[in-house]
Amino acid sequence: MFIIKVIIVLISGILIGSIISPQNILPFLDYLINLNLCFLLFFAGYEIGKAPNITKGLKEASSIVSLILLSTIFGSIIGAFIAGQIIGFNPLYSMSIGAGFGWYSLTGPLLMQYINPYIGAIGFTANILREILTILLFPYFEKIFGIFAAISMGGATTMDSTLPIIIKTVSDKKYILIAFIHGAILTILAPILIPFILSI
Amino acid sequence: MLPFFLSLLAGIFLGYLLRRKEKIFSVDKILSFIVILLIFFTGIKIGSTNEIKSMGNIWFESIIFSIFSIFCSILIAMFIEKFYWRKKNVYNKSNNSSY
């Protein structure tokens, strides 16, 4: 089964990464990831273009993207606010952790600079967990909660790190495009929203 | 971000041009391979990030934040999706009945 391969590969990747800690090859790793993503997007695009009635699907896609975006933005920020209330955090700090939308490499350093290393570390781990949980749970959540909810769960990562699992899961190809645009818009929004929330 | 958009657009364009052609190659197999490779690299990147090792005491807070963000997103999205399909069905039905 595909998901078992995914789990094995993800865990072995994390283990290998934490054991050898390849700081010197990180730039090369980033390059490899970006290159692979380009290939992934090319072939995913090929599938989308080949799908029948794609022009009709595109019109519908734009309204679906905006609806999922609304859920992700409000859901993440409200959810983080509630979480902050439970553990007794400053509400603005909490909401800025949620406004990372799963983009840990942005949220962590940004909050470390704006607030303090402790909040930065939580922003980092909370968002990394969001990414890992999406990779592992997307196929199931898509069935249980629906495609809107599953894409919304992925946040900004639906344009890159969780896009692979989305591509392998969805049967209606237009949702690949929807997930990508959803992630791309959040990737633009997160670096604007986090400083904005903290400046309130 | 631009290379990503261009790759996607190039793929869509090529797929659209070849939409009437028979299957030339198995996209599904290529995709599976790239997906596995990407998840492996993502794993290495997560594991090799130093921040994650030096923080045993923040797991609880992080899990709470992560779960609530995900849960609220899902809740709102489910509500919106239900509403969306219902509205669409009503719209389609009223369209069909006019024929």
pLDDT tens digits along A29-82 = 888 888 988 888 898 888 888 877 767 777 788 999 999 999 999 999 999 999
Count Cβ atoms below 10 Å from residue B21 Cβ, excluding itself: 9
Residue showing tokens 């934040």: B65
* CB pair distance less than 8 Å for B78 and A64: no
* CB pair distance less than 8 Å for B46 and A132: yes
- Neighboring chain B residues of A110 at a CB cutoff of 8 Å: none
Is the pTM here over 0.90, yes or no? no
* CB pair distance less than 8 Å for B42 and A33: yes
On the question of pLDDT at B59 being above 70, the answer is yes
Query: For residue B58, what pLDDT is reported?
Result: 81
Interface size between A and B, measured as CB pairs under 8 A: 290
Residue among B30, B37, B45 whose CB faces A43 most closely: B30
SS3 A172: coil
Q: How far is CA B21 from CA A40, B14, B25, in A?
A: 21, 11, 11
* CB pair distance less than 8 Å for B40 and A118: no
Question: How far is residue A167's CA from residue B77's CA, in Å, rounded to a whole number?
Answer: 20
Residue among A42, A68, A87 whose CB faces B10 most closely: A42
On the question of pLDDT at A106 being above 60, the answer is yes
pLDDT band at residue B52 using 50, 70 and 90 as cut-offs? low
Q: In whole numbers, what is the pLDDT of chain B averaged over residues?
A: 82
Share of chain B above pLDDT 70, in %: 81
Smallest CA-to-CA distance from B55 within A120, A133, A90, A83 is with: A120
Question: How far is residue B20's CA from residue A71's CA, in Å, rounded to a whole number?
Answer: 37
pLDDT band at residue B99 using 50, 70 and 90 as cut-offs? very low
Tell me which of B25 and A159 has the higher pLDDT: A159
Cβ A93 vs Cβ A117: under 8 Å: no
Alpha-carbon torsion, ordered A107, A190, A174, A152, to 10 deg: 70
Residue among B11, B72, B76 whose CB faces A45 most closely: B11
On the CB side of B46, how many CA atoms lie within 13 Å of its CA?
A: 27
Cβ A38 vs Cβ B38: under 8 Å: no
How much is the average pLDDT of B23-36?
Answer: 81
Sorted by sequence, the CB contacts under 8 Å of residue B62 that are 6+ apart come out as: A122, A125, A126, A129
| Paired tokens of B26 | 């198995």
